[in-house]
Structure 1
Amino acid sequence: MNPVIGITPSTQNETNMHFVSAANIAAIKGAGGIPIILPFVVSEDQIRQIGNMIDGLYLTGGNSIDPTLFHEEPHPKLGEINPIRDQYEVAIIEEMQTQQKPILGVCRGCQILNVALGGDMYQDIYAQIDGELLQHKQHAPASHASHFVHVKEETLLREIVETERIKVNSRHHQANRNPGKDIQISGIASDGVVEAIESKQAPFILGVQWHPEDLATAGDTVSKRIYNAFVQACSENENNT
C-alpha cells in the first residue's frame, strides 16, 4: 500500500485559513505517497492518534517561529507568528520521534524541526549574521534554483542526492543556528548559512531550508530524489508496523 503522509498546513492569522500549496501535494503524490492535510490539535491523545494514523510527517514552509520556544525575545525583524501552529508542530514532531517515524521539513519546517529537538535559529539572518550574505529571498520564479549548497559527506542528504554540490531555490529570512539534540548540519551555503539538518540516529529525519516541492514539480531530479527517499522510508516504516 502507499504510505500516508501527514502534511502540516500554513495559516493566516486574520482569516484563520489553513492551506497547503499544490506543489507540496504534487511532490508527495509524485513520489507515491498519499497526502493528507493535518488539523491543528493540542490534545495529547489526539496528537498520539494522528501519529498512529500516518506513516510519515511533512512539515511545510510558512510564517515565522515564536522565538520564546528557544528562549529569546522577539527581534524587530521577526515576521508574523502563529503560536497554535508552533505548539502543534512541536508536539507532533515529538510524537513522530517517539514512534520512530520519518520526518521531512522544508524551509520553516526545517527550522521548527530543529527547534523542537532543542536547537535554535536566527530570527533574521541579515540582522543577526555579520558579513555579506547571499540573496536568500530570491527575485525569481519559485522553480528557479538560485544558489548552491555544499552537501557534507557521510550524511543522509549526501546519500540521497549523490553529489557534493546542489543548486536550490531560496525564500527565507530565518535559518537554523545551533543544531538540536542528536541533530547534525548536512548542507551549508557558501556564505555559511545552514541549509540542511538531519538526525544522527533516526533513519529518516531531514530538514532542508529551500523549497524542493517547487523544484520537484518542475522536474528537478535531485528534488525528486528527496521526496522519493522520504516516501520510501515511510513505506518501509508502514511495512514494519
Structure 2
Amino acid sequence: MNPVIGITPSINEDSHTYFVNIDNMNAIVQSGGTPIILPLIASTNNINQIADMIDGLYLTGGNDIDPTLFNEEPHPKLGRINPARDEYEIALTKKMIEQNKPVLGVCRGSQILNIALGGTMYQDIYSQKEGELLQHQQNAPADHSSHYIHVAENSLLSRLVGKDKIKVNSRHHQANDKLGSALTVSGTASDGVIEAIEGDSETFVLGLQWHPENLINKGDESSKNIYAGFIQACKSK
C-alpha cells in the first residue's frame, strides 16, 4: 500500500478556498505516494488525529510567514501573511517530528520547518542579508534551473542526489537565517543564502528553498531522487 502524504495547501482568503499547485500532487504520485490535501484547522485534537493518520508531511510553498512567530516585527518588504496557515503548519510539523515521521518542506515549507524548531528567517533577503545576492526570484519559467547550490558532504541531501553541486530553480525573497534545534545546513547558494536544511536524527526531515516539484516533471534526476527518498522513508512508518 502506498504511504499517505499530507499536503498543506495555500489559502485564497478572497474566495475562501484551499488550493495546491498540481505539480506538488504529481510529484508525490509519481514517486509512489498517495497525497491528501489537509484542512487547516489548528485544534489540538485535529492536529493529533492528522499526524496519526498520515505517513509523511509535505509542506508546500506559498505566502510569507508572520515574523512575530520568531520574535520579530514586520519588515517593510514583508508580503502578505496568513496566520491561520502558519499556526496550523507549525503545530503539525512539531507533532510529526515528535512522532519521528518524515517531513519534506519546499520554499516556505523549509522556513516553517525551521521556525517550528525555534529558528529565524530573513523577511527579505535583498534588504536584510549583507553582500551582493544572486537573482533568487528568477525571470524564467518555473521548471528552469537558474542557479547552483553546494551540497554538504555526508548529508541526507548528498545521499539523495549523489552530487556535491546541483542546479535548482528559485522563486523566493525570504530564506532561513539562524537554525532551530536539531537542524543543520546541507545546501547553500554561492552568495551564502541557505538553500537546504535537514534534521540531525535518522528520521527524514528535509527543507529545500527551491521548488523540486516543478523540476521533477521535467525529468530532473536530483528532484526524482529527493521525492523517492521521502516516499521510501514514509513507507517505513
TM-score, normalised to structure 1's length?
0.97
In the TM superposition, what are the counterparts of 1:131-146 in structure 2 within 5 Å?
Answer: 131-146=131-146
Q: Deviations over 1:123-162 (max 9, x none)?
A: 0000101211000000000000000000000110000000
In structure 1, distance between residues paired with 2:99 and 2:218: 33
Aligned length: 237
Distance 1:153 1:205 in 2: 17
Tell me the equivalent position of 2:187.
187
Q: CA deviation at 1:14?
A: 2.2
Matches for 1:1-241 after TM superposition, within 5 Å: 1-237=1-237
Shift of 1:202: 4.1
Structure 1 runs of 4+ off > 3 angstroms?
none
Structure 1 alignment gaps of length 5 or more: none
Aligned partner of residue 95 in structure 1, secondary structure: helix
SS in 2 for 1:187: strand
Root mean square deviation, CA, Å = 0.6
Shift of 1:87: 0.2
Deviations 1:34-57 (A, max 9, x none): 000000112101110001110000
Aligned-partner residue type, residue 68 of structure 2: T
Deviations 1:21-46 (A, max 9, x none): 11000000000000000001121011
Work out the CA distance in 2 between the residues paired with 1:124 and 1:233.
Answer: 33
Q: In structure 1, what residue type is equivalent to 2:124? A: D
Q: Quote how far apart the aligned CAs of 1:99 are.
A: 1.0
Q: Which amino acid aligns with 1:125?
A: I
* SS of equivalent to 1:73: coil
Structure 2 spans left out of the alignment, 5+ residues: none
Give the deviation of 1:98 after TM superposition: 1.2
Q: What TM-score, normalized to structure 2?
A: 0.99
In structure 2, how many angstroms separate the alpha carbons of the residues matched to 1:58 and 1:191? 27
Question: How many Å apart are 1:91 and its aligned residue?
Answer: 0.5
CA-to-aligned-CA distance 1:38-80 (integer Å, 9 cap, x gap): 0011210111000111000000000000000000000000000
What secondary structure sits across from 2:207 in the alignment?
strand
Identity %: 61
Write the letter of the residue equivalent to 1:87: E
Q: Deviations over 1:182-240 (max 9, x none)?
A: 10000000000000000011420000000000000111111010000000000011xxx
